[in-house]
Chains A and B, each alone.
Chain A
């Protein structure tokens, strides 16, 4: 199967130009936050940023950005800087980058200026222990406070601890009012929650569209879209509008049989995080007519799903589609709780193997590639149990080790050799 035949028509995504324009706006708004009199939060990994939107706050991302990841030597230096201060390689690799940048004096540096942005507060919807511990370190070193909203995982009752979640949200608002020195605007909160729902539902439906053969997008296109979630922008109307626009284009591609990859013969699942400094990993199987079309990690990080009684993934209806009105702070926060407790499948740690398997079946996956990330404990938790379950189910699977932000922990040649051997079965 060496070389690729063109089996399906392709065409560039029209929404990409809009996405690039918005990405510039995201960065611009962050860099100019102080000049614009906006509060600033270090945040962005998961969501609930509607709460920040209620204060007109901008987000300085704690996740590494493309600017940092482009320069491999620089990435290595950031890792080493964190390590020198005692934060070893077992600490969250993603967030260690920001710590490293802080120690090197470049974190929050505004391009073209000598000036650094110092956030007012660290804000996070906390999914994993490492995220909260890393944020604690940021807060220490920057001399600012943290506001966490912990996502409780009550197994097997995901919505059981809604009251705990809500009480944290209410407290977070009070603490942000103090940190930002301004009141929470409930109208903006309601709008932000509505937009977070819209963004996640649109992303879920884009993910659903990937079930079709040929898949309308390459997985790398899908992951590009996730940028607004990672930049803490899902609550903004521009982001929600963009995701709905992207969904409309993807649906049109499905109707017209337009493929993300024209040579699609082998549909692959890429599971786990990615080595963000390498842009060839997702493209590599294409030389064998294989293409990544799905990822539990990225679908659940960006979309809203639940597993129905028959074990299939399903996109939930929006609250307003069920007659629930977002009319005040409490109802908005309840809608937020619903979005992130029962419908953030990423948080269902012990169900992950079964969820991954049903995803592979529903999305017509031929084989799975697991990235075992040395720097992300949250993602590798029960990952090997997923590998075992795939093997039992007869789905070919291969794994490779890497670290999402540390080039020193990724051997791209080894990855390619593994994929060469893996794809041979479909020759």
Chain B
């Protein structure tokens, strides 16, 4: 295989400089991928996901209880220490309670932050869910218009939908390549693509994805232990670790990856309804999948089957209860189809040494060669 594509890594590493130099109306941060970015984008804002840096911190203890996950603490620490001083505001939707606390603390203690909060139904299959979310999006639209003297009309929303859909479509093309028996793409590249897509203008990101697809054309593939990462992690160290031992992330079910972009907006006469429908019906996170029949389990099983997965790594932040509820059910479902499952909990950093031992043991159980 030729050398790794570095465009996504560079974009992700340079996210703060990129955002500061963004030529539009400014940057809005968000903490959960259920935020309807298209509305903010149509107003001329760059929506970026707020992420931490996987470094220990000492500023969030007065605000977040010590059994809140490192993901929340990492985000808030970045806000409190001014890393996101360029944000014009923060947008949040109801997802998990801990992130809601993080959002609330951010608004209270990060100076000059304008907040936008949208209720997003947890009961997503209910026939009223789309209308309820649309209603909240309408308030969001009006708030942006009022606060920033901007008009968000159909033309702007159409362009936002088009730009976002194109980016989603391109990333799906990359994931389609992972279906190959000998994948030509590294899991680390896959994860870096997902991460970078959440911190830059989709027009720029689509350009990178096209560049990446062109580079992949000339590559040859490898024989690997086909691995799926499930849960929530924004740490490239996991993919690096897996791939150092002969496993290859060929697909994920992660809100920093596939869950973020997998579903398109189907254009409709009422743009907000079209966007709301996409968010309500998208691949669900555990919070948004609380009733039978479950949606997430069959979705994960289907991905595992299509991508020929031999090993599933369920990884989520320590103290994350929504993932904690789903993990036993997912484990049982995947084992039932012959997939080896490894459950890992991480804190601020990926504990490389400890995880290496566990991954090695799992791979040995698979009776496969560890490179």
Q: Which residues of A contact B (CB under 8 A)?
A: 85-88, 90-92, 126, 128-130, 132-137, 139-140, 145-146, 148, 150, 152-155, 157, 160-161, 163-164, 167-168, 171, 349-350, 372, 374, 377-378, 380-385, 387-388
Contact = CB atoms under 8 A, between A and B. Distances in A.
**Which size bracket describes the interface of B in this complex?**
35 or more
A92 B321 contact: yes
Interface string B263-293: 0000000000000000000000011011110
A136 B121 contact: no
B248 interface: no
B329 interface: yes
Nearest to A388: B62
A129 B135 contact: no
27 contacts: A85-B328, A87-B328, A90-B67, A91-B324, A92-B321, A130-B325, A132-B290, A133-B287, A133-B290, A133-B326, A134-B325, A136-B294, A137-B329, A139-B291, A140-B292, A140-B329, A146-B290, A146-B291, A148-B290, A154-B136, A160-B135, A160-B139, A161-B132, A171-B127, A350-B100, A377-B96, A383-B65
Interface stretch (B28-36, B101-109, B304-312): B101-109
Given A136-B290, A148-B291, A164-B121, A87 B97 contact: no
Nearest 4 CB-CB pairings of A with B: A86-B328, A132-B290, A164-B132, A167-B128
B325 A136 contact: yes
B262 to A, nearest CB: 22
A152 B290 contact: no
A167 B127 contact: yes
Contact of A146 (B119, B132, B292): B292
Contacts of B67: 90, 374, 380
A152 B122 CA distance: 9
Nearest to A372: B65
Given A136-B291, A153-B119, A377 B128 contact: no
Nearest to A82: B328
Contacts of A167: 126-128
A310 to B, nearest CB: 22
B277 to A, nearest CB: 15
Contacts of B324: 87-88, 90-91
B117 interface: yes
Contacts of A380: 65, 67
Contact of B97 (A88, A129, A154, A168): A129
Given A90-B319, A152-B132, A385-B63, A133 B325 contact: yes
Contact of B322 (A85, A86, A129, A164): A129
B330 to A, nearest CB: 10
A126 B122 contact: yes
Contacts of A126: 122-123, 290
B97 A378 contact: yes
A349 B100 contact: yes
Contacts of B62: 384, 387-388
Given A86-B327, A146-B291, A349-B97, A91 B123 contact: no
Contact of A129 (B105, B287, B319, B331): B287
Interface string B59-97: 000111101000000000000000000000000001111
B121 A152 contact: yes
A278 B290 CA distance: 32
B122 A381 contact: no
